[in-house]
Amino acid sequence: MSEWSVTAPQKLTFDGPVRDLRVRVVNGTVNVVGTEEDTARLEVSELTGPPLVVTRNGCTLTVTYEDLPWKGFLKWLGRKGRHRSTVVSLAVPAGTRAEVGVVGAGAVVSGVRGPVVLRGVNGDTTLVGVSGPVRAETVSGDLEAQAVTGELTFHSVSGDLTVVAGSGPSVRAETVSGSLIVDLDPGGPTDVGLTSVSGEIAIRLPHPADAEVEANTTSGVVSNAFEGLRVHGQWGTHKITGRLGAGTGRLRATTVSGSIALLRRPPREEEHPGAPETGTGTGTSPKASSARTAPHPAGHSPVAPGENAVSGQDAAATGAPADGTTDKKVL
């Protein structure tokens, strides 16, 4: 085992394979990039507060503070955190398993094919081109996943989830008050399960879509852009149910007081006539798209052509159609 105490901006290169990366920081930024090289590189470009402890033990590389354990990480909040910050960038073999924890720090993970585990208290995370399975837990941090092709699981108290051009086999998300906005590519997830208590849920499905659909809200507004689905309910719970295409996929969405919008992605040839494809459908983020078509809190929803909408106060719209040694160095 080798250990370094990093007290100032520094670059380190690690020979030999790295198969497991563990990073935990407070404030600042963490960047993790998967490469086709066998070696790993670390750059600490900014550092305020106590030193970072970098440990290489076999194929495992760890970057953290001495007093910041992984266990109980989500409960780590204290005044000592206010006086520390760092900017850490790592390049690791693409097949590395990455474990990233942030408290008040932003994180970007890209090009990684191995499993990714994320934990955040109030830092936001972006995933780009990640193909391994992802499991993310946050208190209030948001997660944005772009072109993620692995299984995605997200749990949060008030953090938002935004999936752009999702094409993995499944998306599972649970939040109390955060929003869940999911934009699916054609041939994308066949198993989507979204649950929120008071946050809005907006899902943009490809056209043609292929899924068994069940979406329900107790008191929120529902909006449906598919004629093959039906909106049920008069007072209280409202549901959108039905089958799209052969029904080989599965879509489940549940919220208590939040709104639910099922949006239809136009065919690729209609997205940008005469312009290069961007992979995001209309060229805008799904958040922007849902803002135009998702229901307003007041219960008056701008409904695009072909949509059905029902609010908790609008009963008339129901029934709408369908080695073993240790080296310690101070740098």
- For 190-234, the pLDDT digits (tens) are 899 999 999 999 999 988 888 999 999 999 999 999 988 999 887
CA distance 245 to 262: 15
Q: Is residue 331 part of a domain?
A: no
Token pair 């136009």: residue: 266
CB–CB of 102/120 below 8 Å? yes
Which of 97-101, 136-140, 232-236, 317-321 has the lowest average pLDDT?
317-321
Q: Which residues contact 41 (CB under 8 A, 6 or more apart)?
A: 11, 12, 13, 14, 90, 91
Q: Is residue 213 part of a domain?
A: yes
Q: Is residue 183 part of a domain?
A: yes
CB–CB of 115/97 below 8 Å? yes
CB–CB of 84/26 below 8 Å? yes
Q: Is residue 168 part of a domain?
A: yes
Residues 308 and 182 in one domain: yes
CA distance 97 to 38: 14
Which of 237-246, 250-259, 262-271, 312-321 has the lowest average pLDDT?
312-321
Residues 109 and 54 in one domain: yes
Q: Is residue 233 part of a domain?
A: yes
Residues 49 and 197 in one domain: no
Q: Is the dihedral angle over the CA atoms 323, 2, 28, 128 positive or is it negative? A: negative
Mean pLDDT of the chain: 81
Q: Is residue 121 part of a domain?
A: no
CA distance 220 to 211: 23
Residues 163 and 300 in one domain: yes
Q: Is residue 323 part of a domain?
A: no
Residues 106 and 168 in one domain: no
Residues 106 and 179 in one domain: no
Q: Is the pLDDT of residue 94 over 80?
A: yes
CA distance 82 to 289: 37
Chain centroid to CA 54: how far? 28
Residues 100 and 236 in one domain: no
286 vs 126, higher pLDDT: 126
DSSP string computed for 111-135: S--S-EEEEESS--EEEES--S-EE
Last residue of some domain: 114, 134, 168? 114
Residue 273 CB neighbour total at 10 angstroms: 6
Which of 93-97, 146-150, 181-185, 262-266 has the lowest average pLDDT?
262-266
Residues 304 and 159 in one domain: yes
CA distance 201 to 176: 12
Q: Tell me the residue range of the domain where 104 lies.
A: 11-76+86-114
Peptide bond into 93 cis (omega under 30): no
Give the 3-state secondary structure of residue 89. strand
Residue 71 CB neighbour total at 10 angstroms: 6
Structural domains in the chain (count): 2
Residues 183 and 277 in one domain: yes
Residues 208 and 311 in one domain: yes
Q: Is the pLDDT of residue 289 over 70?
A: no
The per-residue pLDDT for range 20-61, each reduced to its tens digit, is: 999 999 999 999 999 999 899 999 999 999 999 999 999 999
Its pTM stands at: 0.79
The pairing of beta strand 85-93 with beta strand 20-35: parallel
CA distance 77 to 47: 19
Residues 158 and 90 in one domain: no
Q: What is the pLDDT of residue 101?
A: 92
Provide mean pLDDT across the span 110-127: 94
Q: Is residue 329 part of a domain?
A: no
Residues 160 and 278 in one domain: yes
